[in-house]
Amino acid sequence: MTLSPRQQQILTTLIEEYVRTANPVGSEELSRLPGLSTSPATIRKEMAELERKGFLYQPHTSAGRIPTDRGYRFFVNQITQKRLKKINFEEQKLFEEELIKLKLREKMLARTLARLLSAFSHNLAITGLLEEKKYFESGIKDLISQPDWESTDEICQIAEMLDYLDENIEKLSQKLRPRQIKTFIGKEHMFTQTGDCAIVISRCTLPQGANGIVAILGPKRMEYKRNISLIKQVTNFFDTSK
């Protein structure tokens, strides 16, 4: 389903604002954001069309709208076709320095890498060795403290998801080629029944040729540009073919 350039710009700007605020975004708010020189009335009309096409929906009685899975999928496909936004230079340098330290401590690499990815992404990070079927996670507190979970039932589903983490990671890894980075949104993966999560995942070669997996799991409102960039940096860093 094709979108006009203006609809693409409105959808992209709305998603970026929703990721930032975790609140439904309205036409008046969008019209005040940089890069959208469009009247609120025109934005409302385009948002209604985006909703009709299945890219947005209006939760409860809010005047604002939030992205659907289709909206997030369009957004992720767009950003992966373009140059990814990197974390700022100081953070990028710090992240690389920490990766260098990790490479020297191979025995604890997977476990410590999960902690590092969680610290930089503020989401749940998952790492592991596929041959050994040994996986580590870090950042459960970061995940469940997100404002996206509105009920105890949703948090319980996240806890249940962690019980089947190894099995689900192995299933997803079978869909990946070495060094391929993929993003699964909502019900595109099997992590929660409600489909409220997204995961960025890659198979990578760890030191000494170990076949590893790295992933960041968070709400669908996660910072896709940042998290894809982090996973890409890890995958490239440990690529022993370089």
DSSP secondary structure string, 115-144? Answer: HHHHHHHSSEEEEEETTTTEEEEE-HHHHH
Residues 103 and 180 in one domain: yes
Residues 20 and 71 in one domain: yes
**Residue 77: predicted pLDDT:** 93
Residues 64 and 12 in one domain: yes
Tell me how far apart the alpha carbons of residues 143 and 67 are, in angstroms, rounded to a whole number.
20
Residues 151 and 200 in one domain: yes
Which of 50, 81, 112 corresponds to the end of one domain?
Answer: 81
Residues 112 and 189 in one domain: yes
Residues 210 and 113 in one domain: yes
Q: What is the rounded radius of gyration, in angstroms, for the C-alpha atoms of the chain? A: 19
**Residue 211: predicted pLDDT:** 87
CA dihedral in degrees (77, 80, 82, 85; nearest 10)? 120
- Mean per-residue pLDDT pooled into runs of 10, the chain (242 residues): 91 95 93 87 95 92 87 93 66 82 69 92 92 90 86 79 83 85 86 79 81 92 93 84 45
Number of domains in the chain: 2
Give domain status of residue 149, yes or no: yes
**Residue 107: predicted pLDDT:** 58
Residues 120 and 211 in one domain: yes
Provide the CATH number for the domain around residue 61: 1.10.10.10
Residues 96 and 77 in one domain: no
**Residue 241: predicted pLDDT:** 44
**Residue 84: predicted pLDDT:** 62
Residues 126 and 221 in one domain: yes
Give domain status of residue 242, yes or no: no
**Residue 242: predicted pLDDT:** 46
Residues 58 and 106 in one domain: no
* Residues 6 or more apart in contact with residue 234 via CB below 8 angstroms: 99, 113, 117, 202, 204, 214
Tell me, what amino acid is at 189?
H
Residues 210 and 226 in one domain: yes
Domain range spanning residue 20?
5-81
Map residue 164 onto helix, strand or coil: coil
Give domain status of residue 118, yes or no: yes
Give domain status of residue 122, yes or no: yes
Residues 23 and 102 in one domain: no
* Residues 6 or more apart in contact with residue 186 via CB below 8 angstroms: 69, 72, 195, 196, 197, 198, 220
Give domain status of residue 129, yes or no: yes
What's the pTM?
0.87
